[in-house]
Structure 1
Amino acid sequence: MKKNVMLMLAPVVLLILLLLFGYNITNTTNKYTAEQATIVKVIETKAATPATEDKWIRMDKTTRSAGNFAKAEPYAIVEYAQSLIGSPYLYAGITPAGFDCSGFVTHVFDNYNMDIPHSSDMQANEGVPVSKAEAAPGDLVIFTGTDENDRTPGHVGIVISEPGDTISFVHSSSNGGVKISKVQGTRYDVRFLQVRRVL
């Protein structure tokens, strides 16, 4: 009986000791990888930027600047998308805290005041179709879901390669979060459906 009482009191005593001696979780050091630090900087910059309809944030390797542009440039979109590499996958997520594939695309284009729906199926109908060989930075690349036999859109990414090159794209994958992948020579080649130009 005494042993049971002692076991039940031990966590309470430990909690009281921690509170008495001022253990503070916020004193622990946060160490970020370079990619995570970039994400934190993007979030901090967005929070510090006054909200106006025409504002967007362009991330350079060394500087940040705000500008007013009616139409986003493909390379700015690609640069911003790549700055989010390392963000985790989160089903239905649309923030750097976590993205699903279509939420990632929606977030990136929303950063440039472009309305792209949060659905890979709907994104497959945005813009105009272009051939694989014409895929250019900022285009959407559409794939099936994980079942390549079901030929309906289920995954999407943003092209970062030049026309004529092997298609490389940045996307949020349930296997690794936001990352860069290639189409040719991978399972994405089998799952490929189309490229859509939205810019």
Structure 2
Amino acid sequence: MRKVLLTVVCIVSFGIVQAQTVPTETNKVSDVPTVTSNKVSFYEQIPLVHNVINFAKAHLSIRYRSGGTTTSGFDCSGFTRFCFNKFGISLPHSSAAQGNVGAAIEKESAQPGDLILFKGHSSGGNRIGHVGLITEVIGDRIKFIHSAWNGGVRYDYLSASYYQHRYMGIRRVAHLLTQK
């Protein structure tokens, strides 16, 4: 029974993969259609976004330092500024000021490389006080990397109640990378 079930799962999976791909060109040697995916990743559209995110990931666990802008310690906006500056994008050293850079993006349109903005320690305020860099979007789950006072450079999810209550918006600055 397990073998039959496994066979059915494999056949269905293969069918789904085939349905998601389309032939786009013919191999000149064998005249066999070459199958390629019709979905292009965000990283392929703007390759430097991938580089910025990988650069940010390389700094995981660096400690938090108020006002910090170097690998000896970062505050939140110092970290995002440091990462983008490496690739020629100059961001201001203030999370509130970074909230005015680039273009405002709806949460449903968030992509890796976007800045994600939050209120500071007080969820009752209405001022931006924290910023991170979105690293992954799967469905409605947004993962971001940031420098937090309680853990330094680390990952978190927007779905965590702490961040849900403080969420302020998303800014796209990746288009600035393509202009360099």
- Give the alignment's TM-score, normalised by structure 2: 0.69
Q: Distance between the aligned counterparts of 2:115 and 2:53, measured in 1?
A: 11
2:123 corresponds to 1:148? yes
Alignment correspondent of 2:48: 73
Residues 23-52 of structure 1: per-residue CA shift (max 9 Å, x gap): xxxxxxxxxxxxxxxxxxxxxxxxxxxxxx
Residues 24-173 of structure 1: matches in 2 within 5 Å? Answer: 73-162=48-137, 164-173=139-148
Q: Please tell me whether the aligned partners of residues 139 and 159 of structure 1 are also in contact (alpha carbons under 8 angstroms).
A: yes
Which protein has the larger Cα radius of gyration, Structure 1 or Structure 2? 1
Question: Tell me, what secondary structure is at the counterpart of 2:118?
Answer: strand
Consecutive aligned runs of 4 or more in structure 1 exceeding 3 Å deviation: none
How much is the aligned-residue C-alpha RMSD, in angstroms? Answer: 1.3
Q: Please tell me whether the aligned partners of residues 101 and 172 of structure 1 are also in contact (alpha carbons under 8 angstroms).
A: yes
5+ long unaligned stretches in structure 2: 1-45, 175-180
Question: Greater strand percent: which structure?
Answer: 2
Q: Please tell me whether the aligned partners of residues 86 and 179 of structure 1 are also in contact (alpha carbons under 8 angstroms).
A: yes
Higher RCO, 1 vs 2 (CA within 8 Å, ≥6 residues apart): 2
Alignment correspondent of 1:190: 165
5+ long unaligned stretches in structure 1: 1-70
How many Å apart are 1:134 and its aligned residue? 1.1
Q: Report sequence identity in percent.
A: 36
Alignment correspondent of 2:152: 177
**Count of aligned pairs:** 129
- Give the alignment's TM-score, normalised by structure 1: 0.63
